[in-house]
Amino acid sequence: MTALNRPIIEIRRHQMFPVLEPAEIERLRRFGEIRFFRAGEALARAGETGHGLSIILAGKVDITQQDGSGKTVPITTHEAGAFMGEVAQLSGRPALVSAYAQEPVEALVILPERLRALLIAEAELGERIMRALILRRVGLIETRGGGPVIVGRTGHGDVLRLANFLSRNGHPHQSFDVDTDPEAQAIVERFHVNPEELPIVVCPGGEFLRNPTESDLARCIGLVASIDPDRIFDVAIVGAGPAGLAAAVYAASEGLSTLVLDCRSFGGQAGASARIENYLGFPTGISGMALMARAYNQAQKFGAETAIPDEAIGLEVDSNSDRHVLTLHNNERVSARSVVVATGARYRRLDVADLERFEGASVHYWASPLEAKLCAGQEVALVGAGNSAGQAVVYLASHAAKILLLARGKDLGASMSRYPVERIKSLSNVEIVMQAAVTHLEGNGGMLEAIRWQANSGEMRRLIPHLFLFIGASPNMDWLAGSGIALDSKGFVLTGSDLGPDRLPLETSRKGIFAIGDIRSGSVKRVAAAVGEGAQVVATLHSFLTSQSRKPARVSERLELRGLGAAALAEVQRSVEQI
């Protein structure tokens, strides 16, 4: 087996399961408390809220996960010096694996908030621990262990919808085809499921859902929880793309109480990019999902709270307190002293009849490994001529038998960077048709069979089972209708000097409401530019909050409340100043 095909637990086991030295454990004792467990007692159960990080001081602990048929599969056994946990423990979300004491166990248990303080205060140790937590989540995703089980028919729109949602949120899961998998058939029989109720989802805690919404699934697996209606955040960030996540990292690291909302997943359109090759610092390129997952974990490390998926549908100002109040789709309300709008843009849809019939199962707006698997060995079509379209073509070309690239313009180079253009032209299984427009879709039962397009040579038709659309985006502003926020002629948000000399940089026409990233008028539509605006807006937030006589707590003040000593506080402050 080559290194590329070996599981990550074999390649990087020493980093996934490091053993701490006694002196290192002593440095961490101030962050936790000692607990004792009897032989056979559970330290953690899959599906139940986790207790943070547990460092084993004495004894042995077996870590296991369940496969799709409910069988227990061993992962590893922790002994003295090892620690339990993965990235879910940063935010106190449900555990994805179970842990049972093989013999009497003594452990140092570090709760999530204290764990985040540890990662900052103990920079070197924190780096090793953080790397292990992330690699363990990667391993669970790779083995599809510890998450919910989706049972349905391969290629069905709702199966793809749920699988995509979990993948985009970095959550492990398994999918079983009810027509071919004995495990799936056994689950259907056990729960007496009618065919029209598919797909079903079995959550780690045993809960059973019939074709759930993304929100229902998220609550079942503990991705989101209720938001305290009486709490007032320093800043609420709406949108978890590159701009929103950058703002969350810098705001949380500088002591602002931060909440991040997104209606679907972290990463935005950048997260759907198969490969980003021109982002500074990654000479070999990086997938959009990998880049955004790092940012998401970093935001959690600094204490930013996330509510994904939670959709904001309205924004108003409480005139009695100058608070901003966000109304969510689930009727919850969020109060914040300031709001950062980073909702970016939404995918444009083709103006052809019956498009919605095929969306989800046959018409796709991103190219992830899930879509690539669906297209393996088939001819597919992709519409678009921007960098995102180019990256998707290059990625899909290694999976599909052939790709038909349809573009409205005369020259790909007019709208696409040189490196993807050159790469596309070198691919033998890509056919490029310029000055083409899709006119009709054909198919039955939600499954695409053929497409028609108009080109200079006339109308053409080809048998195509999957169509990818990368035709740009429009500002995602519907939820702000009636808010009084000023827009430009194209519907993007006006900010700063475009509104007059009395406005702070990146501030909208409503005081205390800021806009960054693709939704902002005049923004540069690049990942690096969005990240830069996310960092810039935090400096502006400090100016605004100070002017409102509500100076936010500094990092040291927040950590003093957690009981850290002076030396730890000094280390934290130095770490933050270096960011």
Between CA 217 and CA 197 the distance in angstroms is 15
Sheet of 105-110: strands edge to edge? 33-37, 105-110, 53-58, 83-84
Longest dimension (CA), the chain: 78
Which of 334, 254, 258, 256 has the alpha carbon at shortest distance from 296?
A: 258
Give one word for 232, left, alpha or beta, with left for phi > 0 and alpha for psi -120 to 50: beta
CB within 8 Å of 36: residues ≥ 6 apart: 104, 105, 106, 107
Which pLDDT does position 68 carry in this prediction? 64
Beta bridge partners of 455: 458
What token pair was written down for 411? 């020259």
Between CA 401 and CA 425 the distance in angstroms is 16
Between CA 165 and CA 506 the distance in angstroms is 31
Chain-centre distance for alpha carbon 111: 23
247-300 pLDDT, tens digit each: 999 999 999 999 999 999 999 988 888 788 889 999 999 999 999 999 999 999
Cβ contact 393:430 at 8 Å:
yes
Cβ contact 94:48 at 8 Å:
yes
Between CA 253 and CA 534 the distance in angstroms is 13
Task: Specify the pTM.
Answer: 0.87
Note every long-range contact of 552-560, with CB atoms under 8 Å and residues 24 or more positions apart, other chains counting.
552/234, 552/255, 552/256, 552/257, 553/255, 553/257, 554/254, 554/255, 555/253, 555/254, 555/255, 557/255, 558/255, 558/303, 559/117, 559/121
Between CA 218 and CA 32 the distance in angstroms is 29
Cβ contact 324:222 at 8 Å:
no
8-44 pLDDT, tens digit each: 888 899 999 999 999 999 999 999 999 999 999 999 9
511 DSSP assignment = T
Between CA 152 and CA 193 the distance in angstroms is 11
Which pLDDT does position 220 carry in this prediction? 94
Under DSSP, is residue 417 helix (H, G, I), strand (E, B) or coil? coil
Which of 481, 505, 501 has the alpha carbon at shortest distance from 491?
A: 481
Q: In the chain, what are the domains?
A: 8-143 (2.60.120.10), 149-220 (3.40.30.10), 232-346+509-552 (3.50.50.60), 355-471 (3.50.50.60)
Which pLDDT does position 5 carry in this prediction? 65
Strands 333-336 and 323-328, by their bridges, are: antiparallel
Cβ contact 450:459 at 8 Å:
no
Let me know how many helices (H) and strands (E) the chain has, helices first.
18, 31
- CB atoms < 10 A from the CB of 484, how many? 12
Which of 261, 312, 232 has the alpha carbon at shortest distance from 479?
A: 312
Cβ contact 119:301 at 8 Å:
yes
Cβ contact 534:86 at 8 Å:
no
Return the H-helix or E-strand segment holding 575: helix 566-577
Q: What is the pLDDT along the chain (579 residues), one digit of tens a residue?
A: 455 568 888 889 999 999 999 999 999 999 999 999 999 999 999 999 878 999 999 999 999 988 766 788 899 999 999 999 999 989 999 999 999 999 999 999 999 999 999 999 999 999 999 999 999 999 999 888 788 999 999 889 899 999 999 999 999 999 999 999 988 888 888 888 998 899 999 998 888 899 999 999 999 999 998 999 999 999 999 999 999 999 999 999 999 999 999 999 999 988 888 788 889 999 999 999 999 999 999 999 999 999 999 999 999 987 677 799 999 999 999 999 999 999 998 889 999 999 999 998 999 998 988 899 999 999 999 999 998 899 999 999 999 999 999 999 999 999 999 999 999 999 999 999 999 999 999 999 889 999 999 998 899 999 999 999 999 888 888 899 888 899 999 899 999 999 999 999 999 999 999 999 999 999 998 899 999 999 999 999 999 999 886 555 444 444 443 444 444 444 444 444 443
Between CA 245 and CA 251 the distance in angstroms is 10
Cβ contact 36:81 at 8 Å:
no
Alpha-carbon distance values, 81 to 58, 59, 78, 429 (Å): 8, 10, 8, 53
Between CA 149 and CA 507 the distance in angstroms is 44
Between CA 6 and CA 2 the distance in angstroms is 6
If you search the block for the tokens 């939404």, which residue do you land on? 346
Q: Is the peptide bond before 501 cis (omega within 30 degrees of 0)?
A: no
The torsion angles phi and psi of 260, rounded to 5 degrees, stand at: -115, 125
Which pLDDT does position 98 carry in this prediction? 94
Which of 264, 286, 257, 259 has the alpha carbon at shortest distance from 274?
A: 286
Which pLDDT does position 564 carry in this prediction? 46
CB within 8 Å of 1: residues ≥ 6 apart: none
